[in-house]
Structure formats: structure tokens, C-alpha cells
Chains A and B, each alone.
Chain A
Amino acid sequence: MVFDRKKKAVMIYLQLFITYLKIGFFNFGGGYAMLSLIEHEMVLKQQWISHAEFTDMVAISQVTPGPIGINMATYVGYTVTGNVWGSLLATLAVSLPSLVVMYSIVRFIQAFRQNKWISAAFEGIKPVTVGLIGSAAILLMNAENFSDYISLIIFGFSFMLSWVFKVHPILLIVLAGLTGLLVY
């Protein structure tokens, strides 16, 4: 039994490492574009965190410094394993593709820049990343995040403030939090 538990613990670390390696490697277009991938892996496939927890993490990432990918890895690594090592492992895994791929690119910058095949592939990925941001928004439009009509009103107002008036994300999140505190 003890052996089984140990084996299970090792499996969780291994899964965490592989999943974040995947997220780091298939992360094109930065920030929001990687959200749908994180949500697909963490919420839908592994079920390590809930939709609401995921959304809360996006909000926390928006108001704290640092890249959202690193923030997510650190947070999920901690909540899944309950300790610092999980955080460290997930953060390392999500950073590793950047280290390896960017290192090769900068080393062989000349060959890379002139490679028509690689730039053709990147041209094809570019419109996909826009769609991925759209899918992140779709995935988050669920009952956990929209519990009543008030949430729809908050969504509408926030969308207008952000799109038309270009209100800063931090200010927007603070305003929405205050609204939640007042109306609920």
C-alpha cells in the first residue's frame, strides 16, 4: 500500500512535468493564446483545477507581475502536489522549451532567418493563435463563471470598457472585484 502511494506520487510529478513541457512547447503567440491549451490540459483533461479556479488564476496573473505561463505553472504545481517542489518542477518544465528552442535559434540565427519552410509554418500558425484566444473566451463562458444575470451585466460593461475605452486590465479587475463585493 505504501509502495502504491509512492508510485502514485511519482506519477503525479511525472504527469505535471510532461503536461507543462507540452504547454511550453506548443505555446505560440504568448499570454492569452496559451490559455486555451492550459485550460484544455489542466481543467478538461487532467482535472487538476476547476473552471472557476482557472479563471481566478487568470485574474491573479493579470494583477501580479510576470508572464502568465510562469504564474500558472507555479500555481498549479503547488495546488496539485501541495508543495514547493511541484511548483518548481512545473515552472522548470514550462520554461525548458524556451531555453532549448530559443538557444538553437539564436545560435543558428542566420540559417533560421533564411529558412523559407520555417517561416511558412509560422505564417500558418499566426491566424490560428487568434482563434485560440477566441476559444479561451468560449471555454470560460460557463456556468461556473456566469452564475446569474449580474455576471452578464459585468461582462458587458467590462467588454465595452476594455474594447472601446481601453481601460487598463488591472483597473478593470479592481472595479469588477468591488462590484462583486457590493452586489453579492
Chain B
Amino acid sequence: MDRKETTINARLSDLFFTFLKLGAFTIGGGYAMIPLIEKELIDKRAWFDREEFLELLALAQSAPGIIAMNIAVSVGYRAKGKAGMLMASLGAVLPSFLIILLIAAVFTSFRDNPVVERIFKGIRPAVVALIAAPLFRLAKSAHITLKTMFIPIGTAILVGFLGVSPIWIILSGGLGGILWFLIAKRKQS
């Protein structure tokens, strides 16, 4: 490896509690975690320089898996090897696991309560709106143009209306990317 290795002065318990804190106080998952991680790991503890963190972040976002977990795994491994990776991911998962377990145990018996039912009847359409609203902004940041617009629209139709499994579309997306790369390469030479 020719990359410069920053020596990180972290203890396993530091990793665990840092990610426990991130898991307990970030609502909305991976992306919501990013500013807090920056503050905690770079500004406060100086475990990474910003450039290295951004690189890990880019990989965590493009790789498969839950983004918050991917961040915990990569940061934990860089800081303290396999043990660090396990402690950081355990810390990241534990708060939501415990909270949702409690909700699952209680909510199943509360769901038929008329007051709860009225509240959730109001919430359900808002949730759908919440998912649909950021679509245009996301399309822009994924650099979707008029030429490539057929990909997200086709995906939405196939999965949303025709019931095709997202797995097939993801696999075709990956294959399509490789094919596109091959065609571009042939055009160049």
C-alpha cells in the first residue's frame, strides 16, 4: 500500500461510544449522520483528515448496504482493524435496535386503538409525499439528463406498476453501466 497511513489514537471503547452516540441522536439514517460524524471524528477527535473521510464516505455511499453501517465499518476498520469495525457497527445499530424493539412490542397492541388509528390515517399520505418530494432534487444531483431520463422513469414503471423486483433493475443498471463504458472506450480507440 502506497497510501499514507494516519496513525489513529483511538480506543475500542471510544469507537463504540462515538457510534452509539451517532446512532442514538441522528434521525433519518446515513445522510443525517454525516455532519455529526464530521464534527465528532474530524474536528473533535482528529481521527481522520477531511480528505480521507470524504473518500471513505464516497465509497460507503456507492457500495451496497446500509449507508450508516458502511460508514461505521469503514471508519472502525481504518481506526482499529477488525475489532474496531465490529465495535463501531455494534454501536451504530444498538440504539435503533432497542428503540424499535420496544415500539414493535408496544405498537402491535396499540395499532387498533381508535386514536392511534386516526393519527396514522393522517400520517400515511404525508409519508408518501415525503418520499416523492425530493425526487427532482435527487435526479439533478445524480446528473440525470433528458437522454438518461428513461432510466429512472423506466425503473419506476417496472417496479411500481408492473411489480418487477428491484434486484433485476439494479443488476441491469450495473450491466448497462459496464456496457456504456465499453462502447465509450471503443469509440475512443
Q: How many A-B residue pairs have CB under 8 A?
A: 371
CB pair B66–A158 under 8 Å, yes or no, is no
- CB of B146 within 8 A of chain A? no
Partner of A124 from B29, B59, B132, B176 at Cβ < 8 Å = B176
Q: Which residues of A contact B136 (CB under 8 A)?
A: 163
Q: Which residues of A contact B128 (CB under 8 A)?
A: 55, 137, 140-141, 145-146, 155
CB pair A32–B124 under 8 Å, yes or no, is no
Q: How many of chain B's residues have a CB under 8 angstroms from any CB in A? A: 99
Min CB distance B38 to A, Å, is 17
CB pair A87–B97 under 8 Å, yes or no, is yes
- Given contact pairs A78-B105, A136-B131, A184-B121, A121 touches B142 in the complex (Cβ within 8 A): no
- CB of A14 within 8 A of chain B? no
For the residues of B in contact with A, the DSSP-based class is helix
A135 vs B24: C-alpha distance in the bound complex, in angstroms? 30
- CB of B18 within 8 A of chain A? no
Q: Which residues of B contact A184 (CB under 8 A)?
A: 118, 121-122
CB pair B177–A66 under 8 Å, yes or no, is no
Min CB distance B44 to A, Å, is 20
CB contacts under 8 Å to B, within A101-131, are: 101-103, 105-107, 109-110, 112-113, 116-117, 120-131
- Residue of A24, A109, A120, A128 with highest tally of chain B CB at under 10 A: A128
Partner of B27 from A65, A122, A136 at Cβ < 8 Å = A65
- Given contact pairs A103-B85, A105-B59, A145-B125, A68 touches B65 in the complex (Cβ within 8 A): no
Min CB distance B116 to A, Å, is 9
Q: Which residues of B contact A170 (CB under 8 A)?
A: 27
**Closest residue to B154 on the A side, CB-wise?**
A131
What 1/0 flags go to B106-138 for Cβ under 8 Å of A? 011001000100111111111111111111101
A178 vs B115: C-alpha distance in the bound complex, in angstroms? 11
Min CB distance B174 to A, Å, is 4
- Given contact pairs A70-B96, A130-B139, A154 touches B126 in the complex (Cβ within 8 A): yes
Q: Which residues of A contact B92 (CB under 8 A)?
A: 67
Partner of A79 from B62, B78, B104, B177 at Cβ < 8 Å = B104
Number of contact residues on A: which range applies?
A: 35 or more
What 1/0 flags go to B155-172 for Cβ under 8 Å of A? 111111101011101101
Min CB distance B125 to A, Å, is 4
What 1/0 flags go to B85-104 for Cβ under 8 Å of A? 10001001101110111011
- Given contact pairs A129-B142, A180-B123, A64 touches B59 in the complex (Cβ within 8 A): no
Partner of A74 from B97, B127, B158 at Cβ < 8 Å = B97
Min CB distance A56 to B, Å, is 5
CB pair A31–B30 under 8 Å, yes or no, is yes
Binding site for A on B (CB under 8 A): 1-3, 23-31, 55-56, 59-70, 73-74, 77-78, 82, 85, 89, 92-93, 95-97, 99-101, 103-105, 107-108, 111, 115, 118-136, 138-139, 142-144, 148, 151-161, 163, 165-167, 169-170, 172-178, 180-181
Binding site for B on A (CB under 8 A): 22, 24-32, 34-37, 40, 44, 52-53, 55-56, 58-71, 74-75, 78-79, 84, 87, 91, 94-95, 97-99, 101-103, 105-107, 109-110, 112-113, 116-117, 120-141, 144-147, 151-152, 154-156, 158-159, 162-163, 169-170, 172-173, 175-181, 183-184
